[in-house]
Structures are given as C-alpha cells and as structure tokens.
Structure 1
Amino acid sequence: MHKLIRTLGFALLALSLASCRLIYTPDVHQGNLLDKKTVDQLQPGMTKRQVLVLMGSPSVNSPFNQNQWDYVSTEQHRGGDIKVHTLTLTFNNDALVRTEGDFFAEDAQKLVDDTKKYHASYPVDETKGDKSTDGGAPEKKDDGGK
C-alpha cells in the first residue's frame, strides 16, 4: 500500500510539473533550411545539376514526376503548432521554368542568431583542456640545494 501511495505521489508531481511548463520543450526545425540568398540565385533556364549544386537535394523527388522538386521544411516552436514551408521547382526538358511557394527566407537568419545566444559569451580556447601546459610533468619542489 505504501508503494502505491508513493507511486501515485510521483505521478501527480510529474503531472503537475508538466502542466506548469517547467519541462523544457525545444524548438524543432526539420527538412531543408533555405536562405534568401540561395533562392535568389535561382534563374530560369538553370539545369537540374546546377540547381542541385546550389540548393542541395530536394526533400521530395517523386518518381512519377521527374520535372518537379519540392523542398519542404517544418518548424515547431516550443511544442506549439507545426508550420510547413515549401518551395516547388518545376523543370521542363532539364531546365528550370518556375519556382513557387514559401520558405525560411527571413527565418533562416533568425535561426542562426538564436543559436549564437547559446554559445559562451566569455573567451574560450577549445584547444586547451584541463591539463597543465607543461605536458603533465610533476612540479619540482625547491629543497634548498640538498
């Protein structure tokens, strides 16, 4: 009986912490992260190979429609609603003819700026560890010339 009461107590505690949003829920970004500079470089008439080098592999490349590439990304902020962003490229005879859709144009830079705030604000030399700089040799004590 004592174990049952303790288990129920822990369950209630966990439930109350979850309902208070004290449990951390990270932002989730998945798929192709495109920036405005890259998308602005797309020109009608570019070959599929040129687009592949510039943009990377598409998220969706249907085997039934070789003339359409879809770049899809999803964004979820702190467990909220999922936002889906798409960019569709249409080709005709291996040449780009149309681009349409939305993408992370302004959000990509915001995402980069958000990640910078988690880096250390003080100077850090990552090449040095916790070891001493003299190669780990033990310190010599001065015994007064004995």
Structure 2
Amino acid sequence: MAPLTLSPFHWRKKGLTPEEFKNHYETVHIPILQEIAGDKFPKTHRRHYVVRTSEEPTSDDKSNTNYKASVYAGTKAEDFDYDVYSELVFEDEAKFKAFEAVMFDPVLGPKINEDSVKFIDHVKMVWINISESTTAQTSK
C-alpha cells in the first residue's frame, strides 16, 4: 500500500507570539505526542512554520496585525494567517487509523487535547490529505 500523508494547518492561540507558539509545539507538545502515541506516532512529522516578523517589537500586540508573514512574491501577507502546516506521513492508512485511535482514545486523547488547547486555536484547525511528495533537484 502507498503511504498516507496528511497535512494539518494550525493557527496559534490568541495571546501567543509566533515564537511562543513554535517553542511550545516543539518542546512540549511533540514530546507529549511521541510519548503517548508510542509506536503509533507517524513515520515522519515535519512542521513548516510561517516566518513572521514583528512590525513593532515593543508592542504588546501578539496578533498577525503586528506579526505579518514574510511574503516574497505577491502583496497579501494577511492571506497567510495560519502559523504552521505539517506533513504527517504514515506507512499506510492502517497505520494512520492506529494513530487516530490513540488520538480519540477516551483516556489518551484528552491528555493530548489538554496540551494542544494551550497553544492551538482549535476552531480554525484543518487537516487535509495530500498526495505523495515529488521532488526536483539540481542536476550536476
């Protein structure tokens, strides 16, 4: 069977800077998820954070109004209001279903959720199924 790749998009909870969000995700949430999921954890869990720079570093404003996305082409930084998208790769759908069972387990699921609500805006969260990645490299 072909690998299954899911890509969740997450928005940081109101009141957190992008740095606080990333720090919590990397140093608190991922270790909790790895510990609870054990061998059900995805084959890979890659996170891609939107680069955001504070327009007024001394401001108390932690919203995207102050932390605009770094856009290299185009002019609409506000189009990128999410903070991270991830790629979770599972060997197949059965492996994903095993991970999903942990996430929705009546004992284990709440432990994961208890942490995620501290830094993720669950109202905006979305997960999509994406096709296998294709890669182009510089030829030598």
Normalised-by-shorter TM-score class: under 0.3
* Greater helix proportion: 2
TM-score scaled by length of structure 2 = 0.21
Q: TM-score, normalised by structure 1?
A: 0.20
- CA radius of gyration, larger in: 1
